[in-house]
Chains A and B, each alone.
Chain A
Amino acid sequence: MNRIITLQQSVMAEDEKFASSIRERNARMGLLMVNIIGSPGSGKTTLLERTALNAGLAMAVIEGDLATDRDAERMARLDVPVVQINTRGGCHLEANVVERAMDSLPLDTLDVLFVENVGNLVCPAEFDLGEDFKVAVLSAPEGADKPLKYPFLFASAKAVLLTKTDLLPHLSFDTGMFDADVERLNPGVPVFRTDSISGAGIAEWVDFIRFKAREKRANVR
């Protein structure tokens, strides 16, 4: 005789324990943790280099890539504490590997920890790493239609960055449609337009991160 057993258990229950433990620890320390998500080549690492040079914040980075430690080398050159995770084909980071990586960072000296997720607009948006919020990074050459094609990321991000805006004059990127689609998916979300070569828009982005880091620190009980 078969019986039906009700579980109502989250599929990611095991990994969510790691995410919760990261979130609790960060809350105790007042450490802001930001999960940066975007396609390969969208400018995530360059944005983080710019952020390190301009933020005046104690920051560290966890780099997620399928292979190589090239991104970690770029951050280390700026004296940013960094841990590289190679997923060897895995399309996203999960909280259990992130928690291990955090163990080798000087967390108590930091204002903000950035996690640069594996370049991908789909899977990374699904997995909770215990971060304070996700940031969606889209470069102008990828096209203005991407928010509606990858709605989960753009709807759940607490900030959206449009990078490589210096290329806009050479592209048929419909900025009106982009802004309208982002607004439709995620009303009121701040959108930053950045050009990491000239530095345009970086100050606004950095101010936003500084504000969030201060807010996090102020909420430590």
Chain B
Amino acid sequence: MHELSLADAIVSALVKKCEEEGWGAVRVVNLRVGALRQVFPEMLRFAFETLVKDTPLSGAALEIEEVPLSWRCGECGSVWAEETGVCPLCGSFRRETVSGMELEIQSVEVEAP
């Protein structure tokens, strides 16, 4: 269900951009989705294809780049990609997310108006 909300947010934001920027038809939408985002690409694509009908995005391809999860240790600075929160090098609990939380429209490919 939340893929539909996300697709709706993507389409609404880009339709608005089309009007503001005077773009021609949008051919490709490049999306970056982090591994922690629980997004199912096929469902997102299906929702997107349904919602773009009769908009300037009609027929646009949705390209989804999946960004893997990685953490950085707040103590020793090492970076790891396991889905465990504890630093494998020094055992610290202090960590920050380096990647995996992305959910962004990276770029679009548009025709000249």
Contact = CB atoms under 8 A, between A and B. Distances in A.
Interface of A: 1-15, 90-92, 94, 122-123, 125-127, 151-152, 155, 184-188
B84 A184 contact: yes
A6 B2 contact: no
B8 to A, nearest CB: 10
Given A4-B107, A11-B6, A188-B93, 14 more contacts: A2-B111, A2-B112, A5-B107, A5-B109, A10-B105, A11-B31, A11-B104, A13-B13, A14-B12, A90-B1, A92-B5, A152-B36, A152-B37, A184-B86
Given A11-B13, A11-B31, A5 B110 contact: yes
B83 A2 contact: no
B27 interface: yes
A11 B85 contact: no
Contacts of B12: 14
B51 interface: no
Contacts of A126: 2, 37-38
Interface of B: 1-2, 5-6, 9-10, 12-13, 17, 21, 23, 27, 31, 36-38, 83-86, 93, 95, 103-112
A3 B111 CA distance: 6
B105 A7 contact: yes
30 contacts: A1-B111, A1-B112, A2-B109, A2-B110, A3-B109, A3-B112, A4-B107, A5-B107, A6-B106, A6-B107, A8-B104, A8-B105, A12-B6, A13-B13, A14-B9, A14-B13, A15-B9, A90-B1, A91-B1, A92-B1, A92-B5, A122-B2, A122-B38, A127-B2, A151-B36, A152-B36, A155-B85, A184-B85, A184-B86, A187-B93
Closest 5 CB pairs of A and B: A123-B2, A187-B93, A91-B1, A187-B85, A6-B107
A12 B31 CA distance: 12
Of A4, A11, A12, A94, the most chain B CB neighbours within 10 A belong to: A11
Contact of B86 (A8, A123, A125, A187): A187
A127 B38 CA distance: 12
Contacts of B36: 151-152, 155
Nearest to A3: B110
B106 A8 contact: yes
Nearest to A91: B1
Contacts of A3: 109-110, 112
B98 to A, nearest CB: 14
A122 B43 CA distance: 15
Contact of A10 (B21, B85, B104): B104
Contacts of A125: 38
Contacts of A14: 9, 12-13
